[in-house]
Chain A
Amino acid sequence: MAPAPLAAWTDGRIIELDHPTPTTVRLRMHVDDRPRHLPGQHYLIRLRAPDDYTAQRSYSLASDSDDPLLEFLVERQPDGEVSEFLADVAEVGDVLELRGPIGRWFVWDTTTPVLCLVGGTGVVPAVAMARTARRLGRPDLVRVAAVGRGPDDLPYARELEKHGAAFAWTRTEADGRPAGAFTRDELEPLLDGVELAFACGSARFASYAEELLLAAGVDAGAIRVERFGPTGG
């Protein structure tokens, strides 16, 4: 299969903007004649200063392809060049440059039963997968296991709860479950019937998720990892 050339930069207009948690911003943007995307794909967002200096970063889509708008959920990084601008300065009506959809590996093909083990803003591609699965009438195909500090800190927690997601709160005791990330015992039952696992979050979270999936018996070839953010060794 020859890869199709990627679309060039286009303009996207912010139609809706809100702050679902104190450190995140949700942007819903309009792009004329955009190509369809698969859940798990991302876009580049590019900012341009008056002196023509540009900064671009990758952001996963939270929206299903049938959604008339593209939805992004960005976490403000302290001193982060692009995320602080999006969280603090961007407003409805602003036009930003976008390029996408990008990525053909960290994508759900809409038919395989999968588990998403995601942490923090790493939930974003899992939200796109869950929304697509619901539209297709097959919510059972996308199982979500999400890690957050607490229900008020995790973007999309309520939506994912309705989807039937499992949660692990690292700073909050809930229903007798002590605070902490998922254990192997908790993860194993969620893997029943799953053919592919997606791990997504910060570099630290992704390493934890990948080790846990391997420990729970998932074949290394059935794990797809997406690391957000700049940290690393």
Chain B
Amino acid sequence: MPVTRGFQRRRPEPDRGRLPPGQYDTGSSWPVLTAEATPHQPAEEWQLGVDGLVEAPHTWTWSELHAFEGSTYFGDIHCVTTWSKFDMTFTGISVDDLLAVARPTSEAAFVMAHSVTGYTTNLPLADVTGGKAWIVWSVDGKPLPRQHGGPVRLLVPHLYFWKSAKWVSRLELMAEDRPGFWEQNGYHDRGDPWLEQRYQGD
């Protein structure tokens, strides 16, 4: 681990209590990172399904989703490309509310989130239950912009942000873990920023 000749820290000492290892505070900017073309999908035509190992597979429309009691996340997000963004407010509903309707079977242990673009990302069920994950449509009081996953994205803020699938349209409950899009492309299966689980093998 050589010291880089002539390199000095440029940013002020980060708040290590809030900033996971290898991350920097991106301040007011919110980078856009996407590997696919951004879809045009009007909110009114949106549908979100929960299926796979559930007792009652179900699909909700945009207005049916809004009938759930709203839920807000206020806090930080961390992207595997090393930026973190503090004090974000996302509004939507808790994933727990959807699962309470669909009722995962006792074998269900993992979730695959699918987006309309075909993007997928896998998560342990335990990482999206117990108030840890949301389906969100607004950020800082405004509708979620299309390039950030609007009208609807998954939000799992305690994991790297690629797990928070943009344009999410389906949650599939599974017994076994299966790698999603970035995970097949070399990224870690879980993606805990505090353990710096960026790539397979970390």
Q: Which residues of B contact A57 (CB under 8 A)?
A: 82
Chain B facing A: main interface SS: loop
- Flag B189-201 by CB within 8 Å of A: 1 or 0 each: 0000000000111
Complex CA gap A97/B30 in Å reads: 27
Number of interface residues of A (CB under 8 A): 50
5 contacts between A and B (CB under 8 A): A90-B6, A91-B5, A94-B4, A95-B4, A102-B199
Range, interface on chain B: 35 or more
**Is the CB–CB distance between B186 and A6 below 8 Å?**
yes
Interface: B83 (CB within 8 A): yes
Interface: B33 (CB within 8 A): yes
Interface residues of A (CB under 8 A from B): 1, 3-6, 9, 11, 47-51, 53-58, 79, 81, 85, 89-91, 94-97, 102-106, 203, 207, 210, 213-214, 220-221, 223-227, 229-233
Q: Of B8, B32, B36, B37, which is in contact with the most chain A CB atoms at under 10 Å from its CB?
A: B37
Q: Which residues of A contact B202 (CB under 8 A)?
A: 6
Interface residues of B (CB under 8 A from A): 1-11, 22, 24, 26, 29-39, 81-83, 117-118, 145, 147-148, 179, 181-186, 199-202
Which of B11, B22, B36, B81 lies in contact with A223, CB distance below 8 A? B36
Q: Which residues of A contact B181 (CB under 8 A)?
A: 105
Q: Of B38, B117, B179, which is in contact with the most chain A CB atoms at under 10 Å from its CB?
A: B38
**Is the CB–CB distance between A213 and B29 below 8 Å?**
no
Given A104-B186, A230-B83, A6-B201 contact (CB < 8 Å) = yes
Given A48-B3, A220-B36, A233-B30 contact (CB < 8 Å) = yes
Complex CA gap A207/B40 in Å reads: 13
Q: Which residues of A contact B83 (CB under 8 A)?
A: 230
**Is the CB–CB distance between B39 and A220 below 8 Å?**
yes
Q: How far is the CB of A218 from chain B (nearest CB, A)?
A: 8
**Is the CB–CB distance between B184 and A104 below 8 Å?**
yes
Given A56-B22, A230-B83, A48-B7 contact (CB < 8 Å) = yes
Complex CA gap A221/B119 in Å reads: 10
Q: How far is the CB of B14 from chain A (nearest CB, A)?
A: 9
Complex CA gap A96/B199 in Å reads: 20
Given A3-B184, A104-B184, A207-B38, A230-B7 contact (CB < 8 Å) = no
Given A6-B199, A54-B22, A232-B31 contact (CB < 8 Å) = yes
Q: Which residues of A contact B36 (CB under 8 A)?
A: 220-221, 223-225
